[in-house]
Amino acid sequence: MWRGFILVALVLALTLAPAAVVRATSDPPDLGASISTTPGDESPPITTALGADDRWHASPVAITFTASSAVASVTATWVQVDGGGAVATKSIVVVAPSDHRNDGIHTLTYWSVDADGRTEAPQTLAVKIDTAAPVVRDLRLAPTVLRRLAPIHLNLTLADISGSTSASVAVRDQYGFLAHSFVTGTLSAGQQTLRVIPRYRNGRAFDPGLYHVSLTFIDEAGNRTVARTLSFRDYHPVRAHVTHHVRGAGRRVALTFDDGGSPWVWTSILNSLRAYHMHATFFLLGPYVAAAPAVARRTVREGHGIGSHGWTHSEMQRQGYAGVRRELLRSEGPWWYAARATPVSYFRPPYGSQNRETVAAAGSLGYSHVVLWDIDPGDWRGYGAGTIAANTLSHVHSGAIIGLHVCPATAAALPAILRGLRARRYESVSLPELFHAAGRR
């Protein structure tokens, strides 16, 4: 019982004391006189302070004083905090209240006196308290759009009482996959520039697309500041590859939806996917995205993949290199304005119409994946919902890319397709998820 009472009293003392927890036992000696000792006298007491170090602390620091004398017993150890009144104590706690009122460097002066009046020369130590998180101002990123491989620069102004802060930097793609991360060395107060090289750990350049940069600043005391996330778009040219299916992805398939149509059909498809906790990828023509920005935002928010299907739904083989580029450039804008997202780096040419020029034009704008399909349920032929579902499920296999369209019959068939996939132990994922599951990007 008495132990519990003492523990509660100690906790209250740690919480309420403004700078230190001590109690005076008698009047302190004259500090000025105590510095001098009579020549030939025996040695005065020696005091050792335990619990202090040179680091900054965000929590209370307890200091214990142990004194010894070779010739007489020690009667008291006296302590001053920041030049205040001296108190006789064997321990002291420098508090760290969360309102930061005790932040700073505190000087403790201490000495001991023995029974014969011998007084130790005063010693000092510093206790550093910092409960405030680093302050980050004027955070900017440049450039925000890359057309070629180049470093990204993060400019900021940093302030912290400890003057010693590091930053943890994480770069994730549009779908949340970690592209790169690192921890900086010590950052001093003032203006700073951090450089991000858009390369994976293996040295390969990032795949084109949208990237989000998050920064966490940690000072010596362990206080953290999570800065706002900054973004950049990487559109550097790449060599594009045509993909029909993805090997090595396990029991996963990619449902893909082309073209567009009424926003309510698009919404119905999203509702079914959400009900079954599955993802898909949407290759919608630019005008349909522009006409339904709220649905476009929901598509991105719920974690689905997006890609370009061009603007006019014309055969890309007839467009030529320059025509394909115009289609892709025009269709990228609506996604960005509606949802701050980009269809790069996934492109599906209408009708699957593509040739060497088509692929080269796509790669010149950062579309590294020209995505076709290996299962065509034929919903574009006007089949009913039952036929669409049967055609899908009868051909399903690991890593399949299934080509569907945003049309009423497909929306009606989707719940049966998703139930059938689950019954066969398959999961529908977005194309980014399918590639990552197979160890590809």
Cβ within 8 Å of residue 209, ≥6 positions away: 173, 174, 233, 234, 342, 344, 345, 366
Using CA atoms, how far apart are residues 377 and 6, in angstroms rounded to an integer? 76
Q: Which two tokens stand for residue 292?
A: 């339904």
Q: Report pLDDT for 227.
A: 97
Interval 131-155 mean pLDDT:
97
pLDDT at residue 26 tops 90? no
Residue with the larger pLDDT of the pair 18 and 181: 181
Q: 2-129: what fold?
A: Immunoglobulin-like (2.60.40)
Domain chopping of the chain, boundaries: 2-129, 135-234, 241-437
- 8 A C-beta contact, residue 69 and residue 114: yes
Answer whether CATH 3.20.20.100 is correct for domain 135-234: no
Interval 399-406 mean pLDDT:
98
Mean pLDDT of the chain: 91
Report strand pairing: 74-81 vs 87-88: antiparallel
What digits encode the pLDDT tens for the residues 38-80? Answer: 444 578 999 999 999 999 999 999 999 999 998 899 999 999 9
Taking alpha carbons only, the member of 237, 218, 227 closest to residue 154 is 227
Domains 135-234 and 241-437 share a fold: no
DSSP 51: S
Residue with the larger pLDDT of the pair 37 and 421: 421
Interval 160-189 mean pLDDT:
95
Write down the CATH superfamily of domain 241-437.
Glycoside hydrolase/deacetylase (3.20.20.370)
Q: How confident is the model at residue 261 (pLDDT cuts 50, 70, 90)?
A: confident
What digits encode the pLDDT tens for the residues 216-248? Answer: 999 999 999 999 999 999 999 999 999 999 999
Q: Which two tokens stand for residue 369?
A: 């994946």
The β-bridge partners of 402 are 255, 375
What's the alpha-carbon Rg for the chain, to the nearest Å?
Answer: 34
Q: How confident is the model at residue 29 (pLDDT cuts 50, 70, 90)?
A: low
Q: How far is CA 18 from CA 50, 62, 98, 130, 312, in A?
A: 21, 14, 12, 15, 72
pLDDT at residue 25 tops 50? no
pTM of the model: 0.86
Q: Report pLDDT for 440.
A: 87
